Chains A and B, each alone.
Chain A
Amino acid sequence: MRPPPPWAGRRLGTEPGDGDALSDGFQVVGKALPRLDALGKVTGATRYADDLSWPGTLACVLLRSPHPHARIVAVDTAAAAATKGVVAVLTGADLPVRYGAIATSQDEAALASDKVRYVGEPVVAVAAVDEVTAREATKKIAVDYEVLAPVSSIEQALLAPADEPIHEGTKGNIHRLAALEFGDVDEGFAVADVVREDVFFYEGSNHLAMEEHSATAIFADGQLTLWSSTQAPHNLHRVLAKVLDLPMTRVRVVATPHGGGFGGKVDPAAHEVVVSKLAVLTGRPVKCTLSREEVFYNHRGRHPALMWVRTGAARDGQITAMHFRVALDGGALASLGAATTYYTGALQPATYDIPAYRFEACRVFTNKAPCGPKRGHGTPQPRFALEIHLDKLAEDLGMDPVALRRCNYVRPQSRTVNWLRITSCGIEEVTEKVLAASGFATRSRRVGHGQGFAVSAYLCGAGFPMYPSQLPHSEVGLKVDRGGVTVFCGATDIGQGSDTVLATVVAEELGLDRADVRVVTADTGLTPVDLGSYSSRVTFMAGNAAIDAARKIRTLLLEEAARTSGLLAHELRVGDGRFGPLSFEQAVEAAEERHGALSASGSYAPPPGISGEFRGSAVGPGPAYTYSAAVVDLDADPTTGEVLVHKVWVAHDIGRLLNPVLVRGQMDGNVYMALAEALMESQTYRKDLLHHPSVLEYKTPLATDMPAIEHLYVETIDPEGPYGAKEVGQGPFLPVVPAVVSAIHDALGVWVDEVPVTPEKILRALDARDRGALGRAGPKRFPAVPFPPCIKVEPPHAATARV
Chain B
Amino acid sequence: MLRLPAFEHLRAESVRDAAGMLADHGGTARLLAGGTDLLAKMKRRQVMPDALVGIGHLAPLREVRVAPSGAAELGAAVTLAEALADRRLAADQPGYLEAVGVVSSPALRNAGTIGGNLCVDTRCNYNDMTEEWRHAVGYCLKTGCGERCQVAASSPRCWAIFSSDTAPMAIALGATVVVWGAEGERELPLGTLYADDGKAHLQLGPAEILTALRLPARRGWRVAYEKLRRRSAVDFPLAGAAVALELDGDVVAACRLVLGAVASHPVELHDVAQALTGRRLDDEAIEEAATAGARLAKPLDNSDLNYVWRKRMVKVILERALRRAAGADRGRLR
CB of B332 closer than 8 Å to a CB of A: yes
* Contacting pair A293 B313 (CB below 8 A): no
* A697 contacts B304, C-beta separation under 8 Å: yes
Comparing A426-434, A531-539, A632-640, the segment that makes contact with chain B is A632-640
Q: A699 touching B230 by the CB < 8 A rule?
A: yes
A159 to B304, CA, bound (A): 31
Contact: A697 with B125, CB < 8 Å? yes
- Given known contacts A639-B316, A642-B333, A680-B230, A291 and B136 CB-to-CB distance under 8 angstroms: no
Check if A119 sits within 8 Å of B136, measured CB to CB.
yes
**Which of the candidate stretches A76-84, A466-474, A496-504, A700-708 sits at the interface with the other chain?**
A700-708
- Chain B positions within 8 Å of A, measured between CB atoms, are 1-3, 125, 128-130, 132-133, 135-137, 150, 230-235, 304-306, 308-309, 312-313, 316, 332-334
The residues of A that contact B334 with a CB separation of less than 8 Å are 642, 644
Looking at the assembled complex, report how far the CB atom of B299 sits from the nearest CB atom of chain A, in whole angstroms: 12
Q: A131-B3, A293-B133 are in contact. Are A704 and B316 (CB under 8 A)?
A: no
User: Which B residues are in CB contact (< 8 Å) with A702?
Assistant: 231-234
9 new A-B contacts at CB < 8 Å, known A704-B232, A759-B305:
A132-B3, A640-B333, A642-B334, A687-B150, A689-B133, A689-B137, A697-B125, A705-B232, A760-B308
Nearest residue, chain B, Cβ from A135: B3
Bound together, the chains give a CA A135 to CA B230 distance in angstroms of 35
Taking the nearest CB of chain B, how far is it from the CB of A695, in angstroms? 9
A sample of 26 inter-chain contacts (CB < 8 A) reads: A64-B132, A66-B136, A67-B136, A131-B3, A132-B3, A289-B1, A291-B1, A291-B2, A291-B130, A640-B316, A640-B332, A641-B309, A642-B332, A644-B333, A680-B231, A687-B150, A689-B136, A690-B133, A696-B128, A696-B234, A701-B231, A702-B231, A702-B232, A705-B231, A760-B308, A763-B312
How distant is B61 from chain A, measured CB to nearest CB, in Å? 28
8 A Cβ contacts from A713-770 to B: 758-760, 763
A103 to B270, CA, bound (A): 68
- Contact status B333-A635, CB under 8 Å: yes
Majority secondary structure of chain A interface residues (helix, strand, loop or mixed): loop
Q: How far is the CA of A547 from the CA of B133 in the complex (A)?
A: 51
- Expressed in whole angstroms, the Cα–Cα distance for A693 and B136 within the complex equals 13
* A640 and B313 in contact, given A293-B130, A689-B133, A760-B306 (Cβ under 8 angstroms): yes
Query: Which residues in chain A, 590-638, are within 8 Å of chain B measured between CB atoms?
Result: 635, 637
Using CB atoms and an 8 Å cutoff, list the residues of chain A in contact with chain B: 64, 66-67, 119, 131-132, 212, 289, 291, 293, 635, 637, 639-644, 680, 687, 689-694, 696-697, 699, 701-702, 704-705, 758-760, 763
Contact residues in B for A119 (Cβ distance below 8 Å) = 136
Question: Do B313 and A699 touch across chains, with their CB atoms under 8 A apart?
Answer: no
* A271 nearest CB across to chain B (Å): 14
Please give, as numbers and ranges, the residues of chain B lying within 8 Å of A642 by CB-CB distance. Answer: 332-334
Contact of B304 among A64, A641, A699 (CB under 8 A): A699
Q: Please report the C-alpha to C-alpha distance between residue A691 and residue B305 in the assembled complex, in whole angstroms.
A: 11
Q: Collect the chain A residues with CB atoms within 8 Å of residue B2's CB.
A: 291
For the complex, give the distance between the alpha carbons of A131 and B4 in Å: 12
Residue of B nearest to A691 (CB): B125
How far does the alpha carbon of A67 sit from the alpha carbon of B137 in the complex, in Å?
9
Measured in the bound complex, the distance between the Cα atoms of B58 and A401 in whole Å is: 65
Is A693's CB under 8 angstroms from B130's CB? yes
Residue of B133, B232, B235, B304 near A693 (CB, 8 A) is B133
User: Chain B residues with Cβ under 8 A from A639's Cβ?
Assistant: 316
**In the complex, what distance in Å separates the CA atom of A641 from the CA atom of B228?**
12
Which residues from chain B contact A758 at a C-beta distance below 8 Å? 305-306, 309
- Are A687 and B137 closer than 8 Å at their CB atoms? yes
List the 8 closest A-B pairs by CB distance, nearest first.
A66-B136, A760-B309, A760-B306, A704-B232, A644-B333, A704-B233, A642-B333, A702-B231
CB distance from A50 to the nearest CB of B (A): 8
A206 → chain B closest CB, angstroms: 16
How many angstroms between the C-alpha atoms of A640 and B130 in the bound complex?
Answer: 32
Chain B residues lying within 8 Å of A289, measured Cβ to Cβ, are 1
Tell me the nearest residue of chain A to B306, going by C-beta.
A760
Residues from chain B with a CB closer than 8 A to the CB of A635 are: 333
CA distance A467 to B231 in the complex (A): 43
Closest CB in chain B relative to A184 CB, distance in Å: 45
A689: B residues at CB distance < 8 A:
133, 136-137
Taking the closest CB of chain A, its distance from the CB of B320, in whole angstroms, is: 9
Q: What distance in Å separates the Cβ of B112 from its nearest Cβ neighbour in chain A?
A: 14
Minimum distance in angstroms from B319 CB to a CB of chain A:
9
- B129: contacting residue among A64, A212, A693, A760, CB under 8 A: A693
Contact residues in B for A704 (Cβ distance below 8 Å): 231-233
Q: Least Cβ distance of A704 to chain B in Å?
A: 4
CB distance from A606 to the nearest CB of B (A): 41
Give the shortest distance, in Å, between A176 (CB) and chain B (any CB): 29
A702→B235 CA distance, assembly (Å)? 10
Closest chain B CB from A110 CB (angstroms): 19
